[in-house]
Every structure is written in structure tokens, then in C-alpha cells.
């Protein structure tokens, strides 16, 4: 897969993928990764890529022409493959694991990272296939968001993760949070490893882990369980959770976890 990022801070994005599984996939050539800088297609001899907003207001707007030139350059680079273009913006659809799996099927994806107060709407109309937000908080630019998208998609590219099983059964792929993990020593500051994990009974270990995952998900992220409630195999574990523990109230879960760290 070809993955490109349009950014005026290419070093910021490249630094993110010098190490780690995605970095290695790029090194091996399993992922072709490039950055394209709008400053290479400036509006004038001063190298500007932004301008003041029509109608007034604070801040600057990324102009359409330099961004359009970047998309054209990317299309040249990936021909004859088709290029999809995604703009990272707070107005986008929320990024998710399921969107990542869909995007990882593409031949070539160009991610456009904005800066300033926004980008000229006509660039979006004429060049952008979809807009992506990574969550409800304000970043200082799209580079971190683009890096998040590259990282998540990158893990899905053939050969990126050594053990395909580890990607199959991981958190969010099947909408359950991870179970607690332990390693040596058996007792740390008086806290023991759960007995079942030392039992050598693999079926019991599996049952315990599954139970833990459902319990944790019920308590912290009941929203994730909604799509699973009809799964016959889990109805018993779920019923136990419902009877034994209060689910998180999604409106207060953040507040509650903050209480935990501030008390």
C-alpha cells in the first residue's frame, strides 16, 4: 500500500515512523510512505501557502492551489493505481478500527494534514474523498491525527505484525477491552497473580480472561457491548456482570476515573 501525508511539517510526521512496527514495514517496503509539502507549490515567491479568510475573522486559511498541486503530485506518484484523498479535520467522521480496516484495503491513500484555522472549502469539494477526525479535542494541526491514521492502518498491512493471531484477538477488533496481564514476580508489593493463571489449566485460563474482558468492558465501556448482547455464547457471563456490577454511566465515567487519580 502507498500511504502519503500532505504536510508543511514533513519531519514531524516522518519522525513518528522511524521506529516501531510501522517504521519497519516502511523500511522493508511493505508500505510505501511519502510526505508531500505544500511549500513546494507556493502561492508566491515568498513561499506562502495560506491567506486571510474572505469575510474576515481570525487566523489564516490554507489556500486551495498548493493543496491541489500536492494531490496532483501524489496522483502522479501512484499512477496507474487510484488514489483516495482524506482530509484530517475536526469536521470529519470519527476515525475507528473499522474505518481503518476499510482504508487498509486501498491501493493508495493520501492524508492531508491541515494547519491554521482550516482549509479552503473548494479544495475539499474538488479533491477530498472523505474527512476524518480522531476525536473530540482540539489539536494544533492535522499532523498528529494523520500519524495516528498511518499507524493504525499500517498495522493492517500484510507483514506488519509478526503474529496474525495477535491482531485477530486484540482489543476493539472484537469490541472487548483487554484482560489484565501479569508477569514475574508472582507477588509484587504484596499483590499476587490470580491463582487461575498459575493453574496450568488452559481452558480455565481462557474462561477467566474472557470473563475479565466482559466485566471490564461492562464497567468501563458499556457502549462497546451493545453490538454483542445477542451473542449466545456470552449471555451467561454478561448476565453475571449485569447482576454483579453497575455499568459505567458514560456521562460520568470520565469524571469517575478523574476522581480516582485526584483523590
Question: Is the Cβ–Cβ distance between 30 and 3 less than 8 Å?
Answer: no
The residue within the footprint of ligand 9D3, chosen from 7, 35, 85, 89 (CB under 6 A), is 89
146 with 113: CB under 8 angstroms? yes
Residue 6 interacts with ligand 9D3 (CB under 6 A)?
no
Axis crossing angle, helix 235-244 with helix 202-220, rounded to the nearest 10:
50
Q: Which range touches ligand 9D3 (CB under 6 A), out of 5-13, 35-43, 133-141, 205-213?
A: 133-141
What's 228's DSSP letter? G
138 is a site residue for ligand 9D3 (CB under 6 A): yes
Contact pick of 7, 85, 133, 160 for ligand 9D3 (by CB under 6 A) = 133
- Shortest CB 65 distance to ligand 9D3, Å: 19
Cβ contact 11:150 at 8 Å: no
Looking up cell 477526525 gives 133
Task: Give 2 or 9: the residue with its C-beta nearer to ligand 9D3.
Answer: 9
Q: Does 55 bind ligand 9D3 (CB under 6 A)?
A: no
Residue 57 is a binding residue for ligand 9D3 (CB under 6 A): no
Nearest Cα neighbor of 245 from 217, 224, 208, 204 is 217
Nearest to 40 by CA among 78, 87, 1, 77: 77
248 scored as a contact of ligand 9D3 (CB under 6 A):
no
Answer yes or no whether residue 139 interacts with ligand 9D3 by CB under 6 A: yes
Specify the 3-state DSSP secondary structure of 168.
Answer: helix
**Residue 53 interacting with ligand 9D3 (CB under 6 A):** no
CA distance 104 to 131: 16
Question: Grid coordinates standing for 67?
Answer: 493543496
Query: 4 or 118, CB closer to ligand 9D3?
Result: 118
> For residue 228, with 0-12 CB atoms within 10 Å meaning exposed, 13-18 middle and 19 or more buried, which class applies?
middle
One of 88, 109, 150, 238 touching ligand 9D3 (CB under 6 A) = 88
Cβ 135 to ligand 9D3 shortest distance, Å: 5
Under the criterion CB under 6 A, does residue 35 sit at the interface with ligand 9D3? no
- Told to check if 121 binds ligand 9D3 by CB under 6 A, we report no
Min separation Cβ 145 and ligand 9D3, Å = 3
Q: Is 38 in the site for ligand 9D3 (CB under 6 A)?
A: no
CA of 81: how far to CAs of 6, 78, 108, in Å? 18, 6, 7
114 binds ligand 9D3 (CB under 6 A): yes
| Residues of span 152-181 touching ligand 9D3 by CB under 6 A | none
User: Which residues make beta-bridge pairs with 33?
Assistant: 3
The answer to whether the CB of 146 falls within 8 A of the CB of 90 is no
Question: Among 137, 183, 233, 260, which residue sits at the site for ligand 9D3 (rule: CB under 6 A)?
Answer: 137
Residues lying near ligand 9D3 in the complex (CB under 6 A) are found at 88-90, 114, 117-118, 133-135, 137-139, 141-142, 145
Amino acid at each position: 500500500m502507498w500511504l502519503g501525508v500532505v504536510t508543511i511539517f514533513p519531519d514531524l510526521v516522518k519522525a513518528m515512523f522511524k521506529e516501531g512496527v510501522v517504521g519497519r514495514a516502511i523500511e522493508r517496503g511493505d508500505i510505501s510512505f511519502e510526505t508531500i509539502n505544500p511549500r513546494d507549490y507556493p502561492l508566491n515567491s515568498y513561499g506562502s501557502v495560506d491567506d486571510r479568510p474572505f469575510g474576515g475573522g481570525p487566523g489564516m486559511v490554507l489556500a486551495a492551489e498548493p493543496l491541489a498541486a500536492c494531490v496532483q503530485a501524489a496522483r502522479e506518484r501512484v499512477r496507474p493505481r487510484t488514489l483516495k484523498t482524506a482530509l484530517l479535520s475536526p469536521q470529519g467522521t470519527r476515525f475507528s478500527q473499522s474505518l481503518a480496516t476499510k482504508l487498509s484495503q486501498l491501493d493508495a491513500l493520501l492524508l492531508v494534514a491541515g494547519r491554521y484555522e482550516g482549509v479552503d472549502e473548494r479544495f475539499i469539494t474538488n479533491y477530498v474523498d472523505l474527512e476524518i477526525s480522531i476525536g473530540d479535542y482540539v489539536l494544533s494541526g492535522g499532523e498528529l491525527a494523520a500519524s495516528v491514521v498511518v499507524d493504525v492502518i499500517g498495522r493492517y498491512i500484510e507483514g506488519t505484525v509478526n503474529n496474525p493471531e495477535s491482531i485477530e484477538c486484540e482489543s476493539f477488533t472484537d469490541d472487548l477491552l483487554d484482560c489484565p496481564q501479569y508477569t514475574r514476580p508472582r507477588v509484587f508489593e504484596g499483590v499476587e497473580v490470580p491463582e487461575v493463571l498459575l493453574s496450568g489449566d488452559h481452558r480455565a485460563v481462557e474462561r477467566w480472561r474472557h470473563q475479565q474482558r466482559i466485566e471490564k468492558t461492562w464497567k468501563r465501556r458499556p457502549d462497546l457491548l451493545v453490538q454483542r448482547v445477542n451473542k449466545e455464547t456470552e449471555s451467561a457471563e454478561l448476565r453475571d456482570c449485569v447482576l454483579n456490577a453497575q455499568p459505567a454511566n458514560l456521562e460520568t465515567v470520565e469524571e469517575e476515573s478523574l476522581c480516582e487519580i485526584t483523590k
